A and B are shown apart, each in its own frame.
Chain A
Amino acid sequence: MIRIGKISQLLCNSFTRNGNYQIPWILIVIIAGLLSACDRPIWNSPYSSEDASKNILYNAFAERPKHLDPVQSYSSNEILLTAQIYQPPLQYHYLKRPFTLIPQTTQEMPLIKYVDENGNELHAEGDVSSIAYSIYEISIKSGIRYQPHPAFAKTDQGDFRYHALTPIETGSIFKLGDFTALGSRELLAEDYAYQIKRLAHPKLHSPIFGLMSEYIVGLKDLAETLRNAASKLPKDAYLDLRNFPLEGVEIVDAFTYRIKIKGKYPQFIYWLAMPFFAPIPWEVERFYSQPGLTEKNITLDWYPVGTGAYMLVENDPNRIMVLERNPYFQDEYYPVDGMPEDVENGLLTDAGKPLPFIDKIIFSREKENIPRWNKFLQGYYDASGIGSDSFDQAVQLTSHGEATVTDEMQHQGIRLETAVAASTYYMGFNMLDPVVGGRTDQEKAAARKLRQAISIAVDYEEYVSIFANGRGIPAQGPIPPGIIGYRDGKQGVNSTVHQWIDGRIKRRSIEEAKKLLTEAGYPDGIDIKTGVPLVLYFDATSRSADDKSVLDWMRKQFKKINIQLVVRSTDYNRFQDKMRKGNAQIFEWGWNADYPDPENFLFLLYGPQSKAGNQSGNNAANYDNPEYNQLFERMEKMGNSPERQAIIDQMVEILRYDAPWLWGYHPKDYALYHEWYQNVKPNKMSYNNMKYLRINAELRERKQREWNQPVLWPIGAAVIILILSLLPGFIAYRRKERKTEIKQLGLKM
């Protein structure tokens, strides 16, 4: 503290010497230097100047990934990384719609064989009940290699270099990059088998183990066997899964394996395009299981190892995640075919060229929207989503109601891409509730009319317009666009809620809703039996002050037909609790597709999937209609065909009439891209798309320089203001000091 006083004193004295005022020359030299610089560097670039013209894609992420182990990872922010690194056997075609599965590491699509209990082969479209097992035979391509990794490094004697680390060796290791020797090896069928066994690993918590153990033969038993084996080993010891056979997985030869699943489950093929079924080499798990590495976060969950186009070279999820081109990735090419509009949009310019195009992808963590948005406008992020606060700045509607970028964005060369997500946000009625679900047949019929009336009254077109800036499509049923079974236009209209008039969908009138309400036994919102106003309860998760307007709007919608809506707000844990116990009345929820099959949406209303009393159930409305259930059971086992479509149409029609959900809306994603960002086709189903993207780094650097020239006059102005504000003070200081000197002189005299 004393020193601070001295520093202040010195600073004061530096401006005066021998009682004369000195000009702070050094400041003037600095300012002159700053102002005279003509070819100035970009001062506000968050990146190294050496990287300015490099072939790097810059992205932002808000939420840190928790798991990068493909057996555990399920969130979209995690799969964005794992999908670039790991290669499951199949993938989605980048350009074709509806979403089409194609081989990724396989030579061709899996061969599917159906057999009965005795192993006799059956016809695919034969009697489903006689199919005991489905066998998927998968042949992978030879020559695919893993990214360089220390787990594969070998000594001259052929032993693994880092598989028996001593405490001294691990003591000097702090990150994966500290291992100097790297190796690689060819991808084998056994690596896929190994990963399937990992679904049952006692120390790993795969979210799909429960589901897969119902299908993959022997997976449940393997989990039990592994649990017993692990209990006999020291904690965190390596459990070599190669020593534990799994009945449902057979390795035919080095490049072929078979998966045997119970019955017929056509949707299983979609799971083969997810990282859960990506290969994991045993060497890698053996390497990471060594003592001393977990404490330094050197784990498979942190440092993934794959055969994909990119490898993770830096993992600091609080700041930055860096993917670099896998040097061993080869023999994959940009698609040569797509949709008719793809040619026009320049999406086939790179047809047939080897992938990937970009050398490095840098994900920087941006927790807040404002800095993320501003950095995008400065050209430091190549793409951006649009927050509600910047929506008006970025997007405008044309006279035809189409969304396009504003003039300001257009001037910067920014373009807008939109895509309807394979998701649905809905408001559900708990069918176990006596008021909105009903118990007797008579009550059920009345409750149906009540739900239909509410479905008409709650205007989701208005909701999307007000609260989602128009970014959504009011849903006509559970299946979103882009998923097989979705119907567009007149065929797709939910006639319970809407009408097709003059080529457009129009919501039915409030009068119709009121009429239905009267038929339900609530004329003008009054319960005819009790004479009291109808009060319904909306169970919502904790709402921030910002959401008050949404809840007010919701109350207003119910008020249109004189129903009082009471919001019961709670935290998400309690909300889930209510849902599991079947205590909620009206609730809202959403569903993102796992795969592009209608089964993945229609099962949300399948009776045996009811959530009340069933932990893993996904039918939150507890809707249970025998006719619907029967149709579902037929539809889920069928391959896509007109017959299947007819069943889907019938099921959707039942749902529309029964109205267990207010169908809500399918969100529409808007994303902005700079002009140097090419080959973008939004794909809401697959995530391994970064290998198809291309960046014009030269153009980006030019634009960044043009948009970010430093403005230097404020520095000069600040210095001048500082000097001017200090000057009167120093004059006063000198006067005061002189007075003291004169007094002292006076005393001496």
Chain B
Amino acid sequence: MFNYIIRRICYAIPILIGVNLITFVLFFMVNTPDDMARMNLGVKYVTDEAIEKWKQDRGYDKPLIYNQATEGFSKLTQTIFFEKSVAMFVFDFGQADDGRDIAHEIKSRMIPSLAIALPVFLLGIWAYITLPLIMVFFRMPYIDFWGVVLCVALMSISSLFYIISGQFLISKVWHLVPISGYSTGFDAGKFLLLPVVIGVISSIGANTRWYRTIFLEEMNKEYVRTARAKGLPESTVLFKHVLRNALIPILTGAVVTIPLLFLGSLITESFFGIPGLGSYTIEAINAQDFAIVRAMVFIGSFLYIIGLILTDISYTLVDPRIRLM
């Protein structure tokens, strides 16, 4: 397994370089270093000298990808792409265009994002598994039918609707929790309750339907019939045998998202005033801050690769037939 992990990590390097290159090309197709300078210096009274000075100070005065003015390997290294990319592979993200340290910013924003994403993930997994199991357990036409109808209805509604109506009812009309805000420590509970509940409910429809399909497929297999023939209670059949055998597709969807929980959610964090990472990238795109954009894309793709590796590892834990070679 160790060899497998090392190999996967090695595969990740060209992927990360590719992602970085694509991000670079896309970003600079839309924004030139001059545009970035103007965005930072403002449109009033800005001079050519000021723009040049800004570019020099931030290292944007060099050619983008290929430097014809130099010799040998410097043609590639004396470029914005090389200089801005190399440090990232040792997780040195440098400073944003406004002078703030990006690593510090990411660290401080990660915790609020996790404060929402982790409970949503854990409660969600619990709910998404329990509800389909109940539907499968009863297999009564009316429970199943109305369950599916409810799921379709829930998944048809935009998450924004859940947020706005949740804030309206629970915070504005019933005055039970604050509409938005964030705090640290024990006080954070009152701010997190509503976004967590809404986070779980807003995706319950789609996930319940999906998991129900997985469980139903398992229910028709022979080992289930054997278990029942042995006279095992239905709950034991479901919770012990069916659930365990249905874990592979569940893990495929769930484990890969675990590392991405750090990145937060744009809409939820914006509406609930959570100072997380959800809006960091979009704010950087609007501010034409390439330093942040490349750092966040890099982290996103890195975490995604980690998630895929973790998924593979998790298969070996739930299915003894799988070996990572």
Contact = CB atoms under 8 A, between A and B. Distances in A.
Interface of A: 1-2, 4-9, 12, 42-46, 48, 64, 66-67, 74-75, 202-203, 205, 207-211, 294-297, 299, 301-302, 316, 318-319, 364-368, 370-371, 374-375, 377-378, 380, 571, 573, 576, 594, 615-616, 618, 708-711, 714-715, 729, 732-733, 736-737, 740, 743-744, 747
B100 interface: yes
Contact of B137 (A367, A576, A733): A733
B15 to A, nearest CB: 29
A106 to B, nearest CB: 25
Contacts of A737: 233-235
Interface string B224-242: 0000000101110011100
Contacts of B180: 46, 366, 368, 371, 375
Nearest to B47: A210
A8 B42 contact: no
A202 B50 CA distance: 10
Contacts of A708: 175
B249 to A, nearest CB: 12
Given A43-B175, A67-B99, 20 more contacts: A5-B238, A5-B240, A7-B126, A44-B171, A46-B179, A202-B57, A205-B53, A210-B50, A211-B45, A318-B108, A368-B180, A374-B168, A378-B175, A710-B176, A711-B173, A714-B170, A715-B176, A729-B134, A737-B233, A737-B235
B65 interface: no
A380 B42 CA distance: 34
A195 B292 CA distance: 30
A567 B100 CA distance: 39
A1 B247 contact: yes
Interface in B30-61: 30-32, 35, 38, 40-51, 53-54, 57
A221 B283 CA distance: 37
Contacts of B178: 44-46, 375, 380
B30 A573 contact: yes
Contacts of B62: none
Interface in B5-49: 30-32, 35, 38, 40-49
A299 B99 contact: yes
B275 interface: yes
Contacts of B30: 571, 573
B176 A711 contact: yes
Given A297-B104, A319-B273, A576 B233 contact: no
Contact of A318 (B109, B238, B288): B109
A12 B45 contact: no
Contacts of B251: 1
Contacts of B49: 210
A736 to B, nearest CB: 6
A743 B231 contact: yes
B125 A4 contact: yes
B304 interface: no
A46 B42 CA distance: 35
Given A2-B244, A302-B100, A729-B138, A368 B177 contact: no
A747 B231 contact: yes
B175 A711 contact: yes
B250 interface: yes
Contacts, number: 197
Nearest to B174: A711
B272 interface: yes
B279 interface: yes
6 contacts: A1-B250, A8-B130, A46-B180, A210-B50, A714-B169, A729-B138
Given A205-B50, A378-B179, A715-B176, A371 B318 contact: no
Interface string B301-322: 0000000000000000010000
B164 interface: yes
A48 B239 contact: no
Given A2-B244, A5-B239, A5-B240, A732 B140 contact: yes
Given A367-B279, A732-B140, A737-B235, A74 B173 contact: no
Contacts of B234: 736-737, 740
A381 to B, nearest CB: 11
Interface string B108-131: 110010000000000001100110
B222 interface: no
A160 B45 CA distance: 39
Contacts of B57: 202-203, 205
Interface string B246-281: 010011000000000000000000111101100100
A425 B287 CA distance: 23
A299 B105 CA distance: 14
Contact of A714 (B48, B140, B174, B288): B174
Contacts of B288: 573
Contacts of B169: 714
B235 A9 contact: yes
